[in-house]
């Protein structure tokens, strides 16, 4: 597990996994939807999902 400290808002990310694609979403500290996106279930897709989620907060 990676722990990060930053001054930005706290977010929570989640992923709904499927066979060929994964759908990820991020919410803020009180549960408001911030963003969601679908990624292919490939190594590149996993990397893009992680980069996308980290960029959200």
E strands, 1-57, are 11-17, 21-28, 33-40
Distance CA(9)–CA(45), nearest Å, equals 25
Give residue 6's pLDDT. 62
What residue has token string 């911030």? Answer: 34
Helices (H) and strands (E) in the chain, counts: 1, 3
> Model pTM?
0.76
Report pLDDT digits (tens) over 4-34: 566 767 889 999 999 999 999 999 989 999 9
pLDDT > 80? residue 57: no
Closest CA to 42 of 19, 13, 8: 19
Query: Confidence class of residue 2 from pLDDT cuts 50, 70 and 90?
Result: low
Top pLDDT among 26 and 2 is at 26
């Amino acid at each position: 597990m990676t722990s990060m400290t930053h001054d930005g808002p706290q977010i929570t990310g989640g992923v709904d996994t499927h066979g060929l694609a994964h759908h990820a979403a991020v919410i803020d500290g009180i549960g408001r939807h911030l963003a969601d996106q679908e990624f292919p279930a490939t190594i590149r897709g996993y990397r893009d999902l992680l980069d996308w989620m980290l960029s959200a907060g």
